[in-house]
Structure 1
Amino acid sequence: MTAHVLCVGGEDHGLRIPFLLALRERGFHVSAAGSGDAGPFAQVGLPYFPFRFERFVNPFADWRAIGTLSRLLSELRPELVQSFDTKPNLLVPLAARKARSVRVVRTINGLGWIYSSRSLKALALSPVYRGLHKLASRSTTATLFQNRDDMRFFERYRLLGKSAKGLIPGSGIDVEKFERARRAGPSRAELRQVLGLGTREVVLTVTRLTRQKGIPTLLEAAALVHQARPGVHFLLVGPRQSEGPLAISQAEIDRHSAYVTALGPRSDIPALLGVADAFAFPTEYREGVPRALLEAALAGLPIVTTRMPGCSDVIEDGWSGFLVPPRSPRELAQRIIDLLRERQEAAAMSSRAAQWVRQEFGLKLTVKRYAEVYEDLLAYPAQEGLSERDGLNLTSFQRAAIQLGALADPAERDEREGDGLRILGTQ
């Protein structure tokens, strides 16, 4: 019998369509549920079930979402449900408490606003969310992580319960599709002409335009770069108006309009990457593995990003790009200038980053890793021996693998902490 996998995510769930299609090609019956547009799923023939939930804290809306998911699980009766994103990772296990026939797998792709913000509200909500994760772990079969920092966080606060755990870096990027999109788009010269960039040096950032994503820091750094190198222009690509109270204001951007342009959300990211000379990703957010960094690396752009979880799994400081502390505009500005000034060194670093992404973050390898975990879990009766699940001898969780700490700085930290985290599904 073909196992039914229901994959649940948020408003950006459409970005996982290549992952879901690849799972289907491996023999799974795949369906999806999320809060985003159903159109892209219909176009590729994936069954999609929309449900609503609030991204921000709203207990009443969360309770309704749990009820909706519980009914959906009862109707579809999947053998396995996979959740991504902060809210679904809490809602799905809670909705599955009475679904005795389903195995629940959640992927922690970053810890979200509550564990990234330094606001009083976030500090107050942090213990509440830890309690909810402990509750959710009781009906979770396995928890997967995209970076080792998040895994250590869950272990430190004992948020895993008896669920199995493993490390699979990133959600997978379809390297061949990305490169086809780059070739099919307009040329660098054509797009530069459309955007009015001329021959100016361009620094590109692709992210949501929020404070947690480091945009205020980037704007300060842009002003410093402009003083030292007036010909540099910054392009910001990503949503702002949909980001609610976390968004930066248009007035903040306008103060830097001489050297910063906000393009809003775009669907031609592969082509836009081709117009840039460097990529800056100043996040203060606890990322999973940022897709923006993977795409920038594949495009051959030299990268400067922050020393934050997820980012440091893609970039090794001084080898495949630069890492700077978050909220450090002067250091960010200096590294941007370094990338633009030392073109030969920057090209060497970008080449290493591209090789690393192709080696460890490709979609085919990621799907293989997930499929092996699913197959192992499906070999066990759902919910059986829940209190003894830490004794499950899952082949995919025990298989010898390379250490993610192949990156220099994290490897040194791993050695100090005596840790031996391994990536699932790598021989």
Structure 2
Amino acid sequence: MPAHVLYVGGEDNNLRIPFILAMRRRGYRVTAAGSGDPAPFLSHGIDFVSFPFDRFISPGSDLRALRRLVAILRELQPDIAQGFDTKPCLLVPLASGLSGTGTKAVRTICGRSWVYSSRAPLAVATRPVLQTLHRLAARRTAATVFQIEDDRDFFRRNRIDGRRGVLIPAGGSGVDVKAFERALAELPSREAMRDELGLGDAEVVVTVSRMTRQKGIPTLLKAAAIVHRVRPGVRFVLVGPRESEGPLAVSAAEIEAHSPYVIATGARRDVPALMRMADVFAFPTEYREGVARALLEASLAGLPIVSSAMPGCREVIRDGWNGLLAPPGDPERLADGIIQVLEDPEAARAMAGRADAVAREQFSLEVMADRMAQLYDTILRDREDTMAELPAADEPTA
């Protein structure tokens, strides 16, 4: 019987469908659990279980989520449960220990979240609590997958990495090259997308991100104003959700203050086409995240990239070679990079070509899925060895 793997994430767990399908092609039985819409999973024949939880600090909600996850593990009896993002990476190991199922827990560290990205008093005060929870979770974790070395080093320094820390670039979030190319072929053309948004032949800077402060959107808006003064024909298109982002969301009024040269589309399903219609991809994040899929997809779309020099971004972009990096929170340097790319299209095309090669060779879904399958096999061998050492049900213990 094939090993059963449960993938636990939040409302955006559907973004990992290509990865889940890749693991199914490698012979695993797969199930997804998350707080989002089940329809995308069901349309691909992936079993889905509802797992609501609060992304923000909420002890009462977290306790209910833990109980729910214990119940899910007892019902499904998966061999491996893999969590993505902060809350699932804490809840999956704790639930696996409480469930008594023998399920092996895998944490996938996709960055260090708002707690380590913000200097707000609440974030700073929460850090010791989060480290304590990770230390508890580490005791019940069969393996921890890190997307970037910076996170692995941090977990090691603080002794919260557990018994098996593995670096898999873009682990669980590699870019599906074939699916992206297929989407570009099937979605509306560059001209059609520009007509829809009323962009005409303007130079376009696109950003794909949640519209939150820690993602650097206020910095981007300030940079847009600087670029507008120098090149008034440039338009900025912001793609991503805002209303769902709670107290950290950028307000509609803040974005509206920069119209008509800034357009916010909200969340969209045609991101590849929106990228293809642009001239530059800007990624202003100030968030300690892993390898951002948006950077990889922008590379496949042939866009020159101007990004903040945050961990995760530096793993993809080498400044001046396959993109430009600016200090996080520095709108002047971000604007300078955008203007530089627009003023030197030949150099921009060369950088974009190198970025495309890096995305295909180092961060492709197939390369990452092979690495993950090797890890699963190691974990399952450990599980079999452990089970072999246990006494049979009718065998008396010493």
1:100 Cα shift?
5.2
Query: Could you say what secondary structure the match of 2:56 adopts?
Result: coil
TM-score normalized by the length of structure 1: 0.88
Q: State the one-letter code of the partner of 1:290.
A: A
**Residue 231 (structure 2) pairs with residue 224 (structure 1):** no
Structure 1 segments (4+ residues) deviating >6 Å:
none
Deviation at 1:384, TM superposition (A): 4.1
CA apart distance, 1:383:
9.3
What secondary structure sits across from 1:270 in the alignment? helix
* Contact 2:73–2:101 under 8 Å retained in 1: no
User: Residue 104 of structure 2 aligns to which amino acid in structure 1?
Assistant: R
Q: Which amino acid aligns with 1:352?
A: R
Shift of 1:345: 0.4
Q: Which amino acid aligns with 2:5?
A: V
Instruction: Give yes or no for contact 1:4–1:29 (8 Å, CA) kept in 2.
Output: yes
Instruction: Tell me the CA shift for residue 75 of structure 1.
Output: 1.6
Q: Give the AA of the match of 1:353.
A: A
- For residues 301 and 210 of structure 2, the distance between their equivalents in structure 1, rounded to whole angstroms, comes to 20
Shift of 1:329: 0.4
2:257 aligns to what?
Answer: 255
Tell me whether 1:20 sits opposite 2:45 in the alignment: no
Alignment map for 1:17-416 (pairs within 5 Å): 17-98=17-98, 99=100, 101-161=102-162, 163-170=163-170, 171-381=173-383, 384=386
Opposite residue 123 of structure 1, the aligned amino acid is: V
1:90-120 deviation line (CA, Å, top 9, x unaligned): 0111111133522111110111111101100
Larger mean Cα displacement after TM superposition, 374-383 or 50-59: 374-383
TM-score w.r.t. the length of structure 2 is 0.95
Q: Determine helix, strand or coil for the equivalent of 1:141.
A: strand
Q: Conserved in 2, the CA contact under 8 Å of 1:101 and 1:383?
A: no
Name the counterpart of 1:408: none
Structure 1 partner of 2:390: none
Aligned-partner residue type, residue 255 of structure 2: I
Per the TM alignment, residue 365 of structure 1 is displaced from its structure 2 partner at its CA by: 1.0
Shift of 1:382: 6.4
Equivalent AA in structure 1 for residue 246 of structure 2: G
Structure 1 position 351, deviation (Å)? 0.3
Q: Report the Cα distance in structure 2 between the residues aligned to 1:42 and 1:279, rounded to whole angstroms.
A: 32
DSSP-derived class of the 1:271 partner? helix
Among the aligned pairs, what percent are the same residue?
Answer: 56
SS of 1:313 mapped into structure 2: coil
| Cα root mean square deviation, aligned | 1.2
Partner Cα separation in structure 2 for residue 178 and residue 266 of structure 1: 15
C-alpha contact 1:182 1:270 (8 A) present in aligned 2: yes
Q: C-alpha separation between the residues in 2 aligned to 1:284 and 1:384? A: 43
Q: How far is the alpha carbon of 1:40 from its aligned partner?
A: 1.1
| Superposed CA offset, 1:289-330 (max 9, x none) | 111101100000000001111111110001000111100000
Match in the other structure for 1:401:
none
Determine the C-alpha separation between the residues in 2 that align with 1:25 and 1:335: 41
User: What is aligned with 2:392?
Assistant: none
Amino acid at match of 2:320: G
**How many residues are aligned here?**
384
- SS of residue in 1 equivalent to 2:383: coil
The answer to whether the Cα contact below 8 Å between 1:103 and 1:383 also exists between their aligned partners in 2 is no
Specify every segment of 5 or more residues in structure 2 that has no aligned partner in the other structure, as ranges.
388-398
Question: What secondary structure, in the 3-state scheme, does the structure 2 residue paired with 1:312 have?
Answer: coil
CA contact (8 A) 2:77 2:101 kept: no
Alpha-carbon separation, structure 1, partners of 2:316 and 2:265: 26
Shift of 1:258: 2.4
| Structure 1 runs not aligned, ≥5 long | 386-427
